[in-house]
Structure formats: structure tokens, C-alpha cells
């Protein structure tokens, strides 16, 4: 269960969130829990999470280890700051910051090389779904961004299926729609990496997951967890999603 805080919260807000959130998930051993704050709030999140079961993730990384790349952050820097996870290829990065399959792959390889666990996002836009191109888009994203990994590298990643039309819009894919997409993605994994890898892969659903719809989504055996934006910003709301 992963929370993507996007460009929200200060360091102070981060500390307050954890004070409220940790007691609510103290006995929640059924799921891995991750919070992905903005880069500058990673130290506050790592300090506040302490020895709890909540892992901290970044929302992106650059693929070079270091160098003249003003404004970028590298895998070793995130690792040294205490990150365990990193979100890669979020639709907002694809839409506003020119993320491509090629850059998704470069970031994923860099994350793995530096010991971070990538959460790699895929998902179709509304017009792609409406023109019956969902599977074509998912296949292209998988083929370009994920399929070139080796089996060992692939074992390190989590996939997040996030239909773009459901992100931040209040429109959730129905559990059946989400499960269909997850089944399709798992089929792509099976074809490339084998049945055992497909069964072991965690595929998260993301797109307006809320306390009142998480149960229906999680009832689908194909859905292994959730990547949550808006509803992860408030401690009680994200805890109730974690504890669905
Ligand atoms: C996201 O940012 O990954 C996301 C799914 O956002 P929201 O839950 O707000 O739709």
C-alpha cells in the first residue's frame, strides 16, 4: 500500500502525519506500507517513520549517479537519505515532464542498481480507453519500459496500473475493469518472464482509491495493493485504506 504525496506537504506537515498515522497501522502486518513524499521531505519522513514498518520512497530519480544535471537527484542520494522505494513513470511525469518508455527504463535500471525498489507506473489515457486501445498502450509501455529488464532485475520491481483518467479525478476504474487490466499486464509478464514471475509480481491499482472503494478493489485476486494519491495525504484516510 503506497502513498504518493505528489507536491504536497512541508517537513512539519510530514512529521505531524506520521505522529497520527503510525499508531493506526502499528499492527498492520498484512501489507508492506510506503509513503513517497517530495524530495525535500524525505529526511523528515525517514526520521518520523523510524523503526516502523513504513518504508519511504521518492517520486522519481535521475539515472546518472552524479554529475552536471542541475535540479536532478540520483539513486545513491536517495538511498543515502533512507529511501527504500521510488515511483517511476508516473502519468504526471509522462504528461508534464516528457517521460518516455526509454527514460522509464533508464530510471528503473538505475534504481535497481542502487538498491531501490522501483514502483513502475503504466496506464492508458481516456481517449486511448475510449478508442479501445488500452491493451495496445499497456503493451507498448511494458515492452519499452519493463520487458528489457533481466529476470533478476524484474523481480525487484512492483508494477502500478494507473488509468490516467482515474487519477485525481474521483473516477475509479470498477474492480472488474481494474482486474481486467491487471490480468492483461500479468499475461505480459508471464509471456516475457514466465508463470512463476507473473504469479509473484505485485501489481498495484492506482486512481482515486479511497477508504470507501478500496475493499471492492482489493477483493479482486488480481489486485495486490494500491498506489494512492489524494487519499494518502490524511493519516486516518490512508490508514483506513491500508487496513481495508
Ligand atoms: C497517484 O497519484 O498515483 C494517484 C493514484 O492519485 P489519486 O489517488 O489522487 O487518484
Q: Whose CA is nearest to atom 4 of ligand 1?
A: 229
Catalytic annotation on 162?
Answer: yes
Is 0.95 surpassed by the pTM of this model?
yes
Half-sphere exposure of 153 (CA within 13 A, CB side): 18
User: What residues are paired with 228 via a beta bridge?
Assistant: 3
| 194: its cell numbers | 514466465
Q: Is the CB of 163 under 6 A from ligand 1?
A: no
- Please provide the average confidence, as pLDDT, over all residues in the chain: 97
For the chain, what are the domain ranges? 2-242
Confidence at residue 172, expressed as pLDDT on a 0 to 100 scale: 84
Nearest to 56 by CA among 30, 33, 35: 35
Best of 59, 164, 228 for a ligand 1 pocket test (most atoms within 8 Å of beta carbon) = 228
CATH code of the region 2-242: 3.20.20.70
Dihedral (CA of 3, 6, 11, 16) sign: negative
- Give residue 163 CA to ligand 1 midpoint distance, Å: 10
pLDDT in tens, 171-228: 888 999 999 999 999 999 999 999 999 999 999 999 999 999 999 999 999 999 999 9
**Residue 234 · residue 211 · CB < 8 Å:** no
Sequential DSSP letters for 32-72: -EEEE--GGGHHHHHHHHTTSSEEEEES--BSSSSSS-TT-
Atom index in ligand 1 nearest the CA of residue 162 equals 5
Which run of H or E residues covers position 240?
helix 235-242
Q: Would you tell me the crossing angle of helices 175-193 and 134-145 to the nearest 10 degrees?
A: 40
Tell whether ligand 1 has an atom less than 6 A from the beta carbon of residue 207: yes
What percent of the chain shows pLDDT beyond 70?
A: 100
Measure 150 CA to ligand 1 centroid, in angstroms. 29
Angle at 57 between CA 62 and CA 190, to 5 degrees: 80
Phi, psi values for residue 56, rounded to 5°: -105, 140
Which of 2-16, 27-41, 115-129, 168-182 has the weakest average pLDDT? 168-182
Q: What is the DSSP letter of 5?
A: -
Q: Is the pLDDT of residue 147 over 90?
A: yes
User: Which residue, 175, 152, 156, 154, is CA-closest to 226?
Assistant: 175
Q: Using CA atoms of 226, 100, 148, 60 in order, give the dihedral in degrees to the nearest 10.
A: -50
Catalytic residue (choose from 84, 101, 124, 162): 162
Per the CB < 8 A criterion, the answer to whether 13 and 21 are in contact is no
Query: Whose Cα sits closest to atom 6 in ligand 1?
Result: 229
Active-site hit among 90, 99, 101, 128: 90
Whether 114 is a known active-site residue: answer no
Q: Does residue 66 have a pLDDT over 90? A: yes
The DSSP H or E segment spanning 57 is strand 54-58
Amino acid at each position: 500500500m503506497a502513498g504518493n504525496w505528489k507536491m504536497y506537504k512541508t517537513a512539519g506537515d510530514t512529521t505531524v502525519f506520521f505522529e497520527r498515522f503510525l499508531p493506526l497501522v502499528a499492527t498492520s502486518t498484512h501489507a508492506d506500507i510506503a509513503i513517497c513524499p517530495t524530495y525535500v521531505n524525505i529526511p523528515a519522513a525517514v526520521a518520523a517513520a523510524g523503526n516502523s514498518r513504513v518504508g519511504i520512497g521518492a517520486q522519481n530519480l535521475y539515472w546518472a549517479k552524479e554529475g552536471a544535471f542541475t535540479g536532478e537527484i540520483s539513486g545513491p542520494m536517495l538511498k543515502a537519505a533512507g529511501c527504500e522505494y521510488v515511483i517511476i513513470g508516473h502519468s504526471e511525469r509522462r504528461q508534464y515532464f516528457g517521460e518516455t518508455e526509454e527514460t522509464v527504463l533508464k530510471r528503473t535500471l538505475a534504481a535497481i542498481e542502487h538498491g531501490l525498489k522501483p514502483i513502475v507506473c503504466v496506464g492508458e489515457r481516456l481517449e486511448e480507453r475510449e478508442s479501445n486501445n488500452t491493451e495496445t498502450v499497456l503493451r507498448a509501455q511494458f515492452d519499452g519500459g519493463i520487458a528489457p529488464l533481466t529476470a533478476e532485475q524484474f523481480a525487484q520491481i512492483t508494477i502500478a496500473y494507473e488509468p490516467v483518467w482515474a487519477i485525481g479525478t474521483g473516477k475509479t476504474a470498477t474492480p472488474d475493469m481494474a482486474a481486467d487490466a491487471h490480468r492483461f499486464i500479468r499475461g505480459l509478464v508471464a509471456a516475457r518472464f514466465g508463470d512463476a514471475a507473473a504469479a509473484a509480481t505485485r501489481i498495484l491499482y492506482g486512481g482515486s482509491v479511497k477508504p470507501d472503494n478500496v475493499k471492492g478493489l482489493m477483493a479482486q485476486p488480481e489486485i495486490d495493493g494500491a498506489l494512492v494519491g489524494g487519499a494518502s495525504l490524511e493519516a486516518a484516510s490512508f490508514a483506513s485504506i491500508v487496513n481495508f
